[in-house]
Amino acid sequence: MLNMLLPSVVDGLLIGIVYGLVAMGLTLIFGIMNVINLAHGPIIALGMFGVYLLFTGFGINPYLGLVVVAVGGLLFGMLMYFVAVQRVLNAPHLASLLSTFSVNMIIIGVGTIVFSTNFRNVDFSLGAFTFGPVTTTGARVAAAAIAVLVTLLLYAFLRYTRLGKNIRAVANNRKSAELMGIPASRVLAISFGIGTMLAAVAGGLLATIQPFTILSGGVYELKSFVIVVLGGLGNPVGALVGGLILGLIEGIVPVFMKTTWVPVLEFVLFVIILLVRPQGIFGAKQ
C-alpha cells in the first residue's frame, strides 16, 4: 500500500502546484476588482492550444512557447478588459458575470469551429524523473517547477516593482489611489491582463501533461472555483495551498476508491468549506 500511496502523493502535489497557478489568475482578478471571470476556462484552453500550435506548427519547444503564450494572454486580457469588463466594473455583479460569460461562449464557439472537439496532445517527453523510491514523469516535475517560478515572479512583481505597488494600492482603495495620481483604469487593465496571462500559462503547462480539447478549460475552471474557496477569494497564496489540497485529493483517493469519486469528494469539500469557513483558509473575515 505504501508503494502505491507515496507515488500518488507526489504526483498529486506536483499537479496541485499547477492547479494553484490555474486558480491564481481567477483569484487575482477578483481580489483587485471584485470581478469573477467566467471566461477563465476557455482562456486556459487557449493557452493549451497556443503551446500546441507553436510546437506542432513551428517546432518551438513547449516550455519556450510559454513565453509567447504569456505575452498573448496578457494582451488578450487587456483587450478583454476594455471591451467586456470596464463598462460593467461598477455595475451589479450579475452584469460582469454575464459580460465575461459572453466572452466564454464566443471563445468556445469559435474554438469549436476552428479546432473541433477532438483531443490533442503535445508529444514532447522529458523522460522519467526519480527521487528516492518515487518515479514520476519529467513533464510533471517541469510543470510544477515552472508554476512555482511564475508564482515567485508574481510575488516579486507585486511586492517590489512600482507597477506592482500601484496594483496593490488600487486593490486596497481605488478612489484613494486615484487621488494619489495612480491611473486606476490603466492599472486595472494590466491587472486583468496579468490574471489572464496566468490562466493561459497554466493551460500551456497542463497541455504538456495530458490530452485536451477546446472544452477542457471548463473542468479546470470548476477546479479553480473550488481552490479559491479553499484558499480564500483574492488570496494568491491561498490559491497555491488550495491547489495542493485538491492535488492531494486527486492523488490519494484513487488508491482507496474508484476515480469517479474524486470530483464528488472535491465538491463535498467545497460545500463544507462554504458552510464552515466561507472566507477560506487564508481569507479574512468581513
Task: Quick: pLDDT tens for 178-221.
Answer: 888 899 889 999 999 999 999 999 999 999 999 999 999 998 99
Q: What's 93's domain CATH number?
A: 1.10.3470
- Domain membership of residue 230 (yes or no) is yes
Contacts of 71 (CB under 8 A, 6+ apart): 197
Q: Is the pLDDT of residue 14 over 70?
A: yes
DSSP run (H or E) holding 184? helix 184-207
- Domain membership of residue 94 (yes or no) is yes
3-state secondary structure (DSSP) of residue 281: coil
264 vs 268: CA distance, rounded Å: 6
- Domain membership of residue 120 (yes or no) is no
- Domain membership of residue 124 (yes or no) is no
Q: Which long-range contacts (CB under 8 A, 24 or more apart) does 55-61 make?
A: 55/122, 55/124, 56/122, 61/124
Give the distance from CA 141 to its chain's centroid: 18
Provide the whole-model pTM. 0.91
- Domain membership of residue 78 (yes or no) is yes
CB atoms within 10 A of CB 22: 31
229 vs 234: CA distance, rounded Å: 10
Neighbour-count burial of 41, counting CB atoms closer than 10 A to its CB (0-12 exposed, 13-18 middle, 19+ buried): buried
Residue pointed to by grid coordinates 466572452: 103
C-alpha cell at 195: 490574471
Q: Is the pLDDT of residue 1 over 70?
A: no
7 vs 20: CA distance, rounded Å: 20
Question: Using one digit for the tens of pLDDT, what is the confidence trace for 73-126?
Answer: 999 999 999 999 998 888 888 888 899 999 999 999 999 999 988 999 998 888
Question: Using one digit for the tens of pLDDT, what is the confidence trace for 42-84?
Answer: 999 999 999 999 999 999 999 999 999 999 999 999 999 999 9
pLDDT tier, 34 (very low <50, low <70, confident <90, very high otherwise)? confident
In this structure, are residues 29 and 252 in contact, taking their beta carbons and an 8 Å threshold?
no
Q: Is the pLDDT of residue 285 over 60?
A: no
- Domain membership of residue 123 (yes or no) is no
Count of the separate structural domains present in the chain: 1
Residue type present at position 167:
I
- Domain membership of residue 128 (yes or no) is no
- Domain membership of residue 184 (yes or no) is yes
Alpha carbon distances (Å) from 253 to 163, 248, 249 = 42, 8, 6
> Considering only 153-167, 193-207, 223-237, which range has the smallest mean pLDDT?
223-237
Residue type present at position 251:
G
DSSP state of 278: T
Residue range of the domain that includes 79: 2-107+136-276
CB atoms within 10 A of CB 280: 23
In this structure, are residues 197 and 25 in contact, taking their beta carbons and an 8 Å threshold?
yes
Question: Using one digit for the tens of pLDDT, what is the confidence trace for 124-146?
Answer: 888 887 877 778 888 999 999 99
